[in-house]
Each structure stands twice: as structure tokens, then as C-alpha cells.
Amino acid sequence: MVSTTLLLYYGLRPVPDPHAVALWQRELAARCRVWGSVVVAPHGMAADLGGPPDRLETYARATREHPAFADLDLRLVHGQGEPRPRLSVTVRDELVGFGAPHELRVERGGLVGAGERLGPHGLHELVATRGDEVVLLDGRHRHEAEVGRFAGARRPDADSARDVLARLDAGAYDGLRDRPVVTYCTSGIRAELLSALMRNRGFREVYRLDGGILAYGRTFADDGLWEGALYVLQERVRVTFSDHPAVLGSCETCGAPTYAHRDCVAPLCRGWALLCNACADFALCAAHRN
């Protein structure tokens, strides 16, 4: 596996002209020769980018020069993986595809009705005072949670944000309505949006892990509540926070412990599989194995 550098960030704030912002970002990202995806919506901007560290730094500096994005937290993350070097900058009606663009409201101060923000230390304090009552709710896809998650976290059986919301609306989490719930995800955006959707549906005590697993890993690495590897699905990059990450996943073929996702080798297939080193020589996704 190859070392790679990522820049994952988001900002929720009103963007009066998303198309103009997208034009600027498309030109900037191309000029800096970074790849990945940038999404611009009336509610803000979010990006998963990769590239050499110096080019990502140049891109980050230029992005922060825009007054609307001067406060963004743009820190580089180092991981392992070989993402495909392509760039997409798109305008959508929502930053994360929950399918609820008209429900969520963003003002200059940020998302309206979001859960209370907790930093890594705040999370530890909540768990120390409330103990087992606290529920950590993983707001990511099942494949991301397979190889890394907070100890004891609830994992939605979901392949997309839309699935997570559908399960919420179907009552799958109704047992958590009166418990302290902390939503979390990679960088914090899915957790923040999900926290507002939950509060809108009557969940009484909702928190969100500010800065996501990335912020937690920078603070406590593998010596706190986090276990395993952080898999950045979109970029197919794995991030670990120490030399002793837990190996939580198991090979889809032989069952051996692993945290490595591999792209399916079948022509044109965009699938992947979780495979150990011994089974990775000819990687096939579940659909192509059968």
C-alpha cells in the first residue's frame, strides 16, 4: 500500500451562489493539481481531496482566502491507499445525500438545531459521568464501521445517508429517544446533520463529535474509546492513529483478521471487498465472487 495525504473538510453556512463557488473551486483544485471531490450546496461546502502535501497546502491557503471560508479547519491527514486521481466539483441541493434538503436549515452561525458539540475530551467526560447510558451512534456506511468504530457503538445497517434517515424514520432508533446519543462520523459533517435530523424527530439529548474521528484520533489515537482503522470510503484510503490499531474486520473469503479494502479487479466494476493479504492477489467483490 502507498502512503497518501488527504484533506477532508466541511463548512455549513449559507452559500448564496453555489455555482460561482463551484467554478472557483474547480479552477483552484485543477490549478493546484489536487484530486477528489468538492460538493457545493446552498448550505455550505464539503470536500474529500488528495494529493501531495505541498499542493494540498497551497489549495487550503487559497480556499481560506475566500472570506466565506476563512474559518475552515483545513488539516492534512496521512493514510494508506491508492485513490484514483480524478477530480469532481459539483453543485447539489444538499452536501450529504440524506434526501432532506428542505428540512435542514443553515444560518450564518451554522446548522440550526444541531446536537450539542462535544470535542474528544468532552466525549470522555460525558462517558465518565453517564456511563453505559451513553450511546455512540455511527453515522457512516457499514463498510466504514466494519474496520473501525468506537467501542460499543451502534452501527446502522446502512449503505448511504439516505438509508440512515430511512431507518431513523422507520423507528429503528426509537429506543434511544431518552438516552444521551453521540453521533459521529469521519470529519463531523454526517454526524452534525444527523444530530439535527434526530432532534427534529424528538430525540431529547443528542450530541455530535465535533471534528469527527479525525479530531478524536489526533487527541487520543488508539488509547481511548476508538478501535481500529478509519476507512475513508470515497478515497479508498485507510487512516490509523498509532502503531497498535485494533484489527476489527475479517476477510470476506477466509475469515482472517484484516482492515484492508481492495478494489474489485473485474473490468469496469466499482465494487470492493475486505480481504486479507493472502486472499488479495485476485480481489473480487461479493457480486463477482458468486
* 238, 230 Cβ separation under 8 angstroms: yes
Cell numbers for 158, please give them: 446502512
Q: Which of residues 97-156 bind Zn ion (CB under 5 A)?
A: none
CA 211/CA 118 separation, integer angstroms = 9
Catalytic residue check, 185: yes
Q: Which of residues 4-43 bind Zn ion (CB under 5 A)?
A: none
> How does DSSP assign 73-94, residue by residue?
---EEEEE------EEEEE-S-
For Zn ion, give the closer residue by CB, 140 or 262. Answer: 262
Would residue 190 be called left, alpha or beta, if left means φ above 0 and alpha means ψ between -120 and 50 degrees? alpha
For Zn ion, give the closer residue by CB, 59 or 231. Answer: 231
* CB atoms near residue 250 (< 10 Å): 17
With binding defined as CB under 5 A, does residue 225 bind Zn ion?
no
Would residue 81 be called left, alpha or beta, if left means φ above 0 and alpha means ψ between -120 and 50 degrees? left
User: Cβ of residue 266: shortest distance to Zn ion, in angstroms?
Assistant: 4
Total residues contacting Zn ion (rule CB under 5 A)?
12
Binder of Zn ion out of 33, 101, 253, 263 (CB under 5 A): 253
For Zn ion, give the closer residue by CB, 165 or 283. Answer: 283
Binder of Zn ion out of 159, 254, 257, 289 (CB under 5 A): 254
Q: Is 107 helix (H, G, I), strand (E, B) or coil?
A: strand
> Which residue among the candidates 32, 185, 264, 285 is catalytic per the annotation?
185
Q: Which of residues 261-290 bind Zn ion (CB under 5 A)?
A: 264, 266, 269, 271, 276, 279, 285, 288
Q: Is 29 helix (H, G, I), strand (E, B) or coil?
A: helix
For Zn ion, give the closer residue by CB, 194 or 251. Answer: 251
Binder of Zn ion out of 251, 260, 274, 283 (CB under 5 A): 251
Cell numbers for 63, please give them: 480556499
Beta bridge mates, 39? 46, 90
User: Cβ of residue 151: shortest distance to Zn ion, in angstroms?
Assistant: 25
Please state the φ and ψ torsions of residue 89, each to the nearest 5 degrees.
Answer: -120, 115
User: Cβ of residue 53: shortest distance to Zn ion, in angstroms?
Assistant: 32
CA 5/CA 77 separation, integer angstroms = 6
Residue span binding Zn ion (CB under 5 A) among the ranges 35-43, 186-194, 232-240, 247-255: 247-255
Cell numbers for 125, please give them: 467526560
For Zn ion, give the closer residue by CB, 102 or 270. Answer: 270
With binding defined as CB under 5 A, does residue 230 bind Zn ion?
no
User: Cβ of residue 162: shortest distance to Zn ion, in angstroms?
Assistant: 22
Q: What would you measure as the largest C-alpha separation in the chain, in angstroms?
A: 53
User: Cβ of residue 270: shortest distance to Zn ion, in angstroms?
Assistant: 8
With binding defined as CB under 5 A, does residue 60 bind Zn ion?
no
Instruction: For CA atoms 160, 209, 6, 44, give the dihedral sign.
Output: positive
Interface with Zn ion by CB under 5 A: which residues? 251, 253-254, 256, 264, 266, 269, 271, 276, 279, 285, 288
Q: Which residues are catalytic?
A: 185
